[in-house]
Structure 1
Amino acid sequence: MAISRLHIERVRNIQTAALQKLQPFNVFYGENGSGKTSALEAIHILATGRSFRTHIPKHYIQNQKNDALIFAQSGQEKMGVQKLATGEQLIKVNGDSIATQGQLARLLPLQLIDPLSTDLIDHGAKLRRQLLDWLMFHVEPDFYTAWQYYARALKQRNSLLKTSRSLQLKDLEPWNQMLAEYGELLHSQRLSVLEQWQHFFQQDLAHLLPNLPIQLEYRAGFHSEQGLLHDLQQAHYKDVERRYTEHGPHRADLRFKTALGDADAVLSRGQKKLLVMALKLSQIAMLHASNKETVVLLDDLTAELDLTAQRRLIARLSQLGSQVFLTTLDHVAVQKHLHDLSISYQLFHVEKGQIHAVEPTI
């Protein structure tokens, strides 16, 4: 779905912004610190319930204010979120309050590509699991329910592990059984989706890194040939000592393998940037193949990509039907790409938290 109207209140230095008649591409330009990224941050908060810059709401809520408000309209759909400094939130879709962010996330599939995106290659497994599970959430209808049951069992098991170092195997067996049942289901779902994703990934990789074969390698987080229940039982005493559950899909990882070794060790920063783009573009392509369009946030597009890579990325996103919100210091270069590719766009100048639509200069 494409956002036609966006309203932001009290997000960082943006007091109030009302953006109308949004286009397939929406370009925010201005000096550093003007509020460009804050506009993207607001969309991210609406779609996911969290900021991509901080986990603490009061850090993005305007100073000395109690809340932030983001509202968007897409066709007949109206959605909004109010984030309170206390950490609470109120979510509405078409005027009705909803209990979970998941309902909003399904309406507004969102991908973020920013200068820190290479962290998912260089840092821990959590970001890579999130990348895979974002795709799972949008293409596997039963994934979210299975994950909720798994997370509930994991929480209960870990709580028990923290209570005593003398727990017997029988004390954990009900949670072992539940964890194993839903963990095996999650594992099976991930394998199925990963097999489909590989096809789309290789297509985008061939365009962005044509001379560098890379394979996605999924690590289950447990010995899949023996089964999760076996691992949970075998690791009982170690888990009791550690006071947390070592094995399961919550410990899974996604690795990127080249002929010379793991991508994090052998690729340059520029190559890692292109790899991340291939990963995210291929996910967008997979959703597009299922008639699901994605909103894409591109922060600081021109910072680390040369002109050829910029144009290639813009062209691919347009081909996939994505609605794009991007920030840049070089709006002239971006306008030229969009003009030459015959892509409809809206230009916004951002200054001291004020956002104004301006006429294109090309």
Structure 2
Amino acid sequence: MSISRLHIERVRNIQTAALHQLQPFNVFYGQNGSGKTSLLEAIHILATGRSFRTHIPKNYIQTQQADALIFAQAHQEKMGIQKFATGEQLIKVNGDSIATQGQLARLLPLQLIDPQSTDLIDNGAKPRRQLLDWLMFHVEPDFYHAWQYYARALKQRNTLLKTKRQPTLADLEPWNQMLAEYGELLHSQRLSVLQQWQTFFLHDLQMLLPEIAVQIDYRAGFHPELGLANELQHAHSKDVERRYTEYGPHRADLRFKTALGDADVVLSRGQKKLLVMALKLSQIAMLHASNKETVVLLDDLTAELDSTAQRRLIERLSQLGSQVFLTTLDHVAVQQHLNDLSISYQLFNVDKGQIHAVEPTIYN
């Protein structure tokens, strides 16, 4: 699903922006601090309910304003989200209020590629687990249901561990059973999806980083050969001491292995960025194979990527049918790539929160 019209109000320095007749590629250029990334942030809030820059809504809602509003039209669907400084939100699709962000996320699958993307390789397990679960959400119909039940049981078990003095196995048994049932289901779903993903990943890795072979190493968060139910029983004493649940799919991780060692140790920053792009492009490709198109937010394209990598990335996104919202300081280079590849695009200048469509230039 691609966005044809976008309306933003009171997001950082963007007081009001109304963008029409959006194209497969939409290029936003301007000086640092002009509001380019804030525009991408607004789209991210619409699709996911959260910013990629802060967890606190009042940090992106304009100063002394009560709310921010983002609205989009995509084919026959109209969707909007209103985020309040109090933390509350209102979501509507085609004029009807909906209860959960998940319903909106299914309509608008979204991937973000930004200068901080290498954090996915270098930092803790959470962003890597989120990367896998984004794919799970969009390709495995039963994943969200299983995850909701698992998360509910995990929350109840952790509450008991924190509030009840020396809880016994009998105290925890109902939650152990529920965790084991849905945890094993999540694990099997992840294994199945990961096996499919590996094929797409190796294809995009070869295109972006052909000189290095990388394998995805999935770690379940528990010992599958032992089984989660047994793991929870064996770890009972330690969980009581720690006061939280150590083992389960909520502790899963992905590690990236090369012939010379772990990717976070042996790859350069530039290589890590290309690896992250291959991971995300391969997810987009997997959705594309299921007739699901992805909106891609590409922040600061020309930073840290040479001209060849820029062109490969743009060409691949076009092949996958993605709608791209792209920011850059060097719009001339980006237009050259798009013109050479015969890709339809719209150019926008961003200045102090004001966004204006600009007539594209044809470069020879």
> What residue ranges of structure 1 are gaps of 5+ in the alignment?
none
1:214-259 CA-to-partner distances (Å, cap 9, x unmatched) read 0001000000001000010000010011000000000000000001
1:131 aligns with 2:117: no
Following the alignment from structure 1 to structure 2, what is the Cα–Cα distance between the partners of residues 164 and 2?
Answer: 50
Residue 166 (structure 1) shift: 1.5
| Mapping of residues 208-227 of structure 1, within 5 Å | 208-227=208-227
Aligned residue for 2:41? 41
Following the alignment from structure 1 to structure 2, what is the Cα–Cα distance between the partners of residues 347 and 165?
Answer: 62
Aligned residue for 2:177? 177
* Kept after mapping to 2: 8 A contact 1:158/1:243: yes
Residue 211 (structure 1) shift: 1.6
Following the alignment from structure 2 to structure 1, what is the Cα–Cα distance between the partners of residues 330 and 106?
Answer: 33
Residue 335 (structure 1) shift: 0.4
TM-score (norm 2): 0.99
Aligned residue for 1:349? 349
Aligned residue for 2:331? 331
Following the alignment from structure 2 to structure 1, what is the Cα–Cα distance between the partners of residues 28 and 53?
Answer: 18
Aligned residue for 2:299? 299
Following the alignment from structure 1 to structure 2, what is the Cα–Cα distance between the partners of residues 298 and 63?
Answer: 27
Residue 164 (structure 1) shift: 2.6
Q: Structure 1 residue runs of 4+, over 2 Å off?
A: none
Following the alignment from structure 1 to structure 2, what is the Cα–Cα distance between the partners of residues 65 and 144?
Answer: 34
| Mapping of residues 45-194 of structure 1, within 5 Å | 45-194=45-194
| Mapping of residues 183-262 of structure 1, within 5 Å | 183-262=183-262
What SS is found at the alignment partner of 2:326? strand
Following the alignment from structure 1 to structure 2, what is the Cα–Cα distance between the partners of residues 122 and 356?
Answer: 37
* Kept after mapping to 2: 8 A contact 1:165/1:241: no
- Percent identity over paired residues: 86
Aligned residue for 1:12? 12
What SS is found at the alignment partner of 1:157? helix
Following the alignment from structure 1 to structure 2, what is the Cα–Cα distance between the partners of residues 211 and 15?
Answer: 46
One-letter amino acid of the structure 1 residue matched with residue 78 of structure 2: K
One-letter amino acid of the structure 2 residue matched with residue 191 of structure 1: L
Following the alignment from structure 1 to structure 2, what is the Cα–Cα distance between the partners of residues 338 and 212?
Answer: 28
* Kept after mapping to 2: 8 A contact 1:129/1:252: yes
One-letter amino acid of the structure 1 residue matched with residue 104 of structure 2: L
Residue 361 (structure 1) shift: 1.7
* Kept after mapping to 2: 8 A contact 1:110/1:297: yes
What SS is found at the alignment partner of 2:151? helix
> What residue ranges of structure 2 are gaps of 5+ in the alignment?
none
Following the alignment from structure 2 to structure 1, what is the Cα–Cα distance between the partners of residues 94 and 336?
Answer: 38
1:70-124 CA-to-partner distances (Å, cap 9, x unmatched) read 0000111000000000000000000000000000000000000000000010000
Following the alignment from structure 1 to structure 2, what is the Cα–Cα distance between the partners of residues 351 and 208?
Answer: 33
Following the alignment from structure 1 to structure 2, what is the Cα–Cα distance between the partners of residues 166 and 239?
Answer: 10
Following the alignment from structure 1 to structure 2, what is the Cα–Cα distance between the partners of residues 45 and 196?
Answer: 29
Following the alignment from structure 1 to structure 2, what is the Cα–Cα distance between the partners of residues 121 and 303?
Answer: 18
Residue 299 (structure 1) shift: 0.2
One-letter amino acid of the structure 1 residue matched with residue 259 of structure 2: A
**Number of corresponding residues:** 362
One-letter amino acid of the structure 2 residue matched with residue 359 of structure 1: E
What SS is found at the alignment partner of 1:175? helix
One-letter amino acid of the structure 1 residue matched with residue 187 of structure 2: H
Following the alignment from structure 1 to structure 2, what is the Cα–Cα distance between the partners of residues 303 and 179?
Answer: 44
